[in-house]
């Protein structure tokens, strides 16, 4: 394994270079970044090292960088460097998960010692993950793409099967199904995990600078190009390039991308010098690219090169059995993000969640989980359950209570009926009748695929 690195992030060149020189003299491996956006190119779940970042930077600041890093891997140590007036801000960052902070001007030896301790901690985290995987316990892939329905089991199997290869991948799925999550997971369990993961939003590339953004340029290549610049493809060397919503890429640029994928070579603007490109391409699309090819909006030859392997992300409506447990997991994650105690989700809410189609898929379900943690109704614009139930008659309240108890028991026992009617002290027939009366579906409440 390569030595751990210190990712040094500061938009001011002089203090960044001074810190880098000191860390280098101490024997630490460095990677300098002039912006938080550039630093994120190196952050993956397999990142072996520590991040040292200034808080005050143009564009994305250190606090936002901390938040983005924790979304990718909450165990990556982040040390924030603050000015004299920002100490309270840094203390808040500590509460939000920063490893530590330094106040300017700082003693360089303190930074070296702090970085060393953070590297040791990161090493232990990575070693423990390897040990857990070797012991056969749930791996990170199941945590990122949870679900016990057959379609999710097969998806994780395919991801593991292709991770060790360099095959280019096409990921198809509706909005919110987790296409980028699958792409990042594929990168992180591959042999490229320690190299950059570069995500490119094909729908948001600036029309006038597309080629410069992707391929880079030499000084003087066009007005305003005062110095050479690496493009995103070159930044990704050895790693993975995610072409997000590739169906939105202009047709003329598709031709240039095709040549890159075929030859694995790029040319910076203003240069005839070929640059070898060792990357894996993962493309995502929410639309059927075969239909785009038929309509003349997408090149057939580019599609054939990208879909060596095609993964299809299932919509939630196609895996309803996963919804209750997935929702509870998202509630736990939301409680952590908002620094709240774990929220108690009433059984009737879980039953309601399970019965809906969720056209926005996991993204929409996550919003509902956030609202629950914040004490609101899970459905935007709706009243809270307590208020909505306030006008019920006694008989209706008793029925609602009975429905909640049965729903909770079904969720607790994964939808298996025998332990439910035994726990409640009723017959199997009575349980069936009450489930039918209240519209409770054991599959939607976590039932296994096998018969009871």
Peptide bond into 330 cis (omega under 30): no
427-445 pLDDT, tens digit per residue, is 888 888 888 888 777 665 5
202-231 pLDDT, tens digit per residue, is 888 776 678 888 898 898 888 877 888 888
Nearest to 233 by CA among 267, 270, 203: 267
Q: Which residue has the higher pLDDT, 313 or 392?
A: 313
Strands 309-312 and 169-172: parallel
302-318 pLDDT, tens digit per residue, is 999 998 899 999 999 99
Nearest to 193 by CA among 119, 126, 118: 126
Q: Please give the Cα distance from 55 to 51 (Å, whole number).
A: 12
User: Do the beta carbons of residue 159 and residue 311 sit within 8 Å?
Assistant: yes
Which residues, including other chains, have CB under 8 Å from residue 341's CB and lie 6 or more apart? 335
Nearest to 237 by CA among 283, 277, 182: 277
157-179 pLDDT, tens digit per residue, is 899 889 888 899 999 999 999 99
């Amino acid at each position: 394994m390569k030595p751990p690195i210190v990712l040094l992030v500061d938009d001011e060149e002089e203090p960044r270079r001074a810190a880098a020189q000191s860390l280098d003299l101490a024997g630490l491996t460095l990677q300098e970044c002039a912006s938080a956006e550039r630093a994120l190119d190196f952050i993956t779940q397999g990142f072996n090292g520590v991040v040292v970042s200034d808080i005050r930077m143009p564009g994305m600041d250190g606090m936002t960088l901390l938040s983005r890093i924790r979304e990718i891997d909450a165990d990556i140590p982040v040390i924030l460097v603050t000015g004299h007036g920002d100490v309270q801000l840094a203390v808040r960052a500590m509460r939000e998960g920063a490893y530590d902070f330094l106040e300017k001007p700082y003693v360089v030896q303190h930074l070296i010692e702090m970085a060393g301790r953070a590297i040791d901690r990161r090493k232990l985290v990575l070693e423990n993950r390897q040990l857990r995987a070797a012991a056969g316990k749930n791996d990170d892939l199941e945590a990122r793409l949870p679900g016990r329905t057959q379609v999710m089991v097969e998806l994780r199997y395919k991801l593991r099967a292709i991770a060790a290869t360099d095959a280019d991948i096409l990921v198809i799925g509706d909005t919110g199904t987790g296409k980028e999550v699958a792409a990042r997971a594929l990168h992180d369990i591959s042999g490229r995990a320690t190299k950059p993961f570069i995500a490119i939003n094909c729908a948001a590339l600036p029309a006038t600078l597309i080629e410069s953004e992707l391929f880079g340029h030499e000084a003087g290549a066009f007005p305003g190009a005062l110095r050479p610049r690496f493009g995103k493809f070159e930044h990704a060397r050895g790693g993975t390039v995610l072409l997000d919503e590739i169906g939105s890429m202009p047709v003329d640029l598709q031709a240039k991308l095709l040549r890159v994928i075929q030859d694995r070579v790029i040319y910076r603007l203003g240069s005839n010098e070929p640059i070898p490109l060792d990357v894996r391409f993962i493309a995502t699309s929410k639309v059927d690219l075969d239909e785009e090819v038929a309509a003349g909006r997408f090149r057939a030859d580019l599609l054939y090169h990208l879909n060596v392997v095609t993964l299809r992300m299932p919509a939630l409506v196609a895996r309803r059995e996963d919804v209750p447990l997935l929702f509870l997991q998202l509630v736990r994650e939301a409680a952590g993000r908002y620094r709240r105690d774990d929220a108690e989700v009433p059984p009737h809410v879980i039953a309601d969640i399970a019965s809906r189609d969720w056209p926005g898929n996991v993204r929409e379900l996550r919003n509902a989980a956030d609202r629950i943690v914040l004490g609101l109704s899970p459905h935007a614009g709706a009243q809270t359950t307590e208020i909505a139930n306030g006008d019920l008659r006694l008989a209706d309240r008793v029925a609602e209570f009975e429905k909640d108890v049965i729903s909770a028991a079904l969720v607790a026992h994964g939808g298996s009926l025998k332990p439910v009617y035994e726990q409640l002290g009723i017959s199997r027939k009575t349980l069936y009748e009450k489930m039918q009366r209240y519209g409770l579906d054991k599959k939607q409440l976590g039932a296994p695929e096998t018969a009871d």
